[in-house]
Homo-oligomer: A and B are copies of this chain.
Amino acid sequence: MVWDPEFEVAFNPKTVAVVGASRETLYYGDFVGNLQHAGFPGRIYPINPKAAGGEIHGLKTYPDLVSVPEPIDLVVISVPSHAVPSVLEDCIAANAKNIHIFTAGFKEMGDEKGIALEKKLLEIAKRGGLRILGPNCMGLFVPASKLSIWERITPEAGPVAFLSQSGGHALQFVPEATRYGVRFSKVISYGNASVLDSIDFLEYLANDAETGLIGMYIEGVRNGRKLTTLVRDINATKPVIIWKGGSSDCGARAAASHTGALGSENEVWDAFFKQTGAVIIDGLEELIDVTMTFLKLRPLPSNRVALIGAGGGNSVAGADVCARAGLDLPHFTEKTLEELGSFISPEGTIIKNPVDIGVVLRDINILLRSLEPVAADPMIDSIIFALPLDVMLMGDGQTQQPPMNAPGEAVEKQSGVMNTLIRFNHENIYGKPLIIVLQPGMGSFVPGQRGQVQQVLLKEGIPVYFSLARASRAVGKFIQYHEFHSKY
């Protein structure tokens, strides 16, 4: 269908009815309780003929949609699949047209029964003008509206939309990405895409002022040509980051069983990415890294980076992964080399790009002093700074053991190293961003400490990665995105 703007109310509803609401608090199934827990400020109407007249979580329960005393902005259906058609008829009768069908058991079953049921669903939807999200999906999560039928979800809103054909990916991506500083405008798990498809939601998100970046997990699409045009246009102003599932034969088979998606050939998708310039990623981890990169970095004028780290092996292996990710590590100018050489002893170090400050790290200030001349170098547009976790926690000018925190203890007092990095990035005299890689420590491990350092740096607007490979891959894709658009 063409995007129907009347569905928009579903993202900020005043009233939500949950059909198939139950007194039992089932894991991931207690949608009424989850809505309440999320602080949903509108009215919630539990619908269950068997429980009618009673209460669910303190709310009056209705026998059917028609009995609800006011218009319903969003209906969530979680009844068994065979009962879905009659609930849809009720929706028509109640003039409730925005519907999320959580229930599975339709065309993705691959059997006659499931296919017939989906056909029926489509017939009713068409007849009643129903705007259906799903079936077989986790529906909507809209932080700004405190709308969530999901468990334990952070309520902070942000600029990232996630459009996912997999409910599980959405459920894992949201909390995990939140730890990386990613915040969401709209998360839409759309499952079988029987009525509303990715294309419809993209049309909406294209014009959604709260959305600045769109992530997608997609298994199949009905109208590939339309998707190509749409993504190409959106991607010029709002980056579109796409994880395509089902690229292998076995994955495509699984996709057919998952959402009934009939994946196209890989060549078709290759052409799609070439034409649209959308950012292709693979896997949850890369989706998070790349999304975080787009949020934290401003467009870079080039792919010319300086890599500063400790240990020659890191320099060598870091140069390898940077090269593979399309990043250029140019030679420094003579001036930079001279300045670095004025305070870095040449023995056990590498005073060129990539810079190796030496594994000895007798004076952490040497590492930090190297930032200034490198940032001033006209050959360089960004700086990747890689440090082991325990060195990151060292104090200013410290020559002793780094002050490792006790297990569970928060990294409250930021270390001298962290302070210097934050200050450098904040002053940003040369307009060259700092990209930090938090490597495994060289000493004993304190559980949770890596995440604490990550949080401190992210809050200061610095992108943080857990390996040089992840950093260079994400930054490389970020730069390629902007290169693509500068060409057009």
Question: Is A366 an interface residue when CB atoms closer than 8 A count as contact?
Answer: no
Query: Hey, what's the 0/1 contact readout for A309-344 against B, CB within 8 Å counting as 1?
Result: 011111111111111100001000000000000000
Q: Which of A343-357 contact B (CB under 8 A)?
A: 346-350, 352-354, 356
Q: Do A176 and B360 touch (CB < 8 A)? A: no
One of A234-242, A376-384, A399-407 contacting the partner: A399-407
Judge whether A119 is part of the interface by a CB distance below 8 angstroms: no
- Per assembly, the copies of the chain total 2
A80 / chain B contacts, CB cutoff of 8 Å: 347
CB atoms of A283 and B469 under 8 A apart? yes
* A255, A310, A400 pick with most chain B CB within 10 angstroms: A255
The residues of B that contact A388 with a CB separation of less than 8 Å are 171-172
Flag if B467 contacts A27 (CB, 8 Å): no
Question: When the two chains form the complex, which single residue of B28, B175, B445 contacts A359, counting CB atoms closer than 8 Å?
Answer: B28
CB distance from A115 to the nearest CB of B (A): 13
Q: How far is the CB of A260 from chain B (nearest CB, A)?
A: 10
Q: Are A164 and B346 in contact (CB under 8 A)?
A: no
Whole-angstrom distance between the Cβ of A247 and the nearest chain B Cβ: 5
Inside 8 A of A408's CB, which chain B residues have their CB?
A: 407-408, 447-448
Confirm or deny: A136 has a beta carbon within 8 angstroms of a beta carbon on chain B.
Answer: yes
Is the CB–CB distance between A447 and B451 below 8 Å?
yes
Flag if A248 contacts B323 (CB, 8 Å).
yes
Q: Is the CB of B27 within 8 A of A245?
A: no
A243 in contact (CB, < 8 A) = yes
Chain B contacts for A445, CB-based, 8 A:
175-176, 179, 451
Given B151, B253, B317, B320, which contacts A401 in the complex, CB threshold below 8 Å? B151
Pairs of residues from A and B, 7 with the lowest C-beta to C-beta distance, nearest first: A168-B311, A166-B313, A447-B448, A258-B312, A408-B408, A104-B348, A248-B323
What are 28 A-B pairs at a CB distance below 8 A? Answer: A26-B399, A27-B360, A27-B361, A27-B400, A28-B359, A29-B362, A80-B347, A104-B347, A105-B346, A105-B348, A151-B443, A166-B316, A166-B317, A167-B312, A168-B314, A169-B311, A171-B359, A171-B388, A175-B442, A250-B319, A250-B354, A251-B320, A283-B467, A283-B468, A284-B439, A284-B440, A284-B467, A448-B448
